[in-house]
Amino acid sequence: MRIIDDDGNDAKTGEFIIRGPNIMQGYVSSGKVDSPMTTDGFMKTGDIGYVDEDGYLFIVDRAKEMIKVKGQQVAPAELEAILITHPLVNDAAVCGVYNDHGTSEMPVAYIATAVEGHQEQQRLKEDILAHTNSKVARYKQITGGIHILEAIPRK
């Protein structure tokens, strides 16, 4: 693993790049390969962060903001703005996760709420999905699930 700046030079804070025998060589789409690889065989993760003096890795940002869902661009900020209009959502963050086939990203939501208890949280998740998904195009819907946190970590 290495950390690089925008110019591809080693840096203390920047994008994590990884290399190894189990790392993919790129994405295959419509017969062409769209490679996230550097010229020296490292894969760009899209995660921005640093490693502290004790060797712990900290991810603090993403290199790209948009979530790519089946070729369509989805802005996390749009979904976050809708999520926080729900009366039981105190804060929200949205990011993309790849589907099981690794062919497309899905929006996943992380919310902070005061609602406790498994059954109550499950009902809240269903209500929030209905609330949010009814306000956006199908490709923008939160298909990666909702995770409830005590608080959304902020810089």
Q: What is the pLDDT of residues 96-114, one digit of tens each?
A: 988 887 788 999 999 999 8
Q: How many domains does the chain have?
A: 2
Pick the range with the lowest mean pLDDT from 83-87, 102-106, 122-126, 142-146: 102-106
Find the CATH number of the domain harbouring 83. 3.30.300.30
Examine the domain organization and report whether 93 and 131 are in the same domain: yes
Structure confidence by residue, pLDDT tens digits, 19-77: 888 777 666 554 444 557 777 888 888 888 899 999 998 887 777 778 889 888 898 98
pLDDT on residue 32: 45
Q: Both 140 and 78 in a single domain?
A: yes
Let me know whether 36 and 91 are in one domain: no
CA angle, 136 then 139 then 141, to 5°: 50
Residue that is last in its domain, among 13, 38, 62: 62
The domain in which residue 22 lies consists of: 2-62
pLDDT value at position 25?
Answer: 67
Those residues whose C-beta lies under 8 Å from the C-beta of residue 139, and which sit 6 or more positions away, are 69, 70, 72, 74
- 53 and 88, same domain (yes or no): no
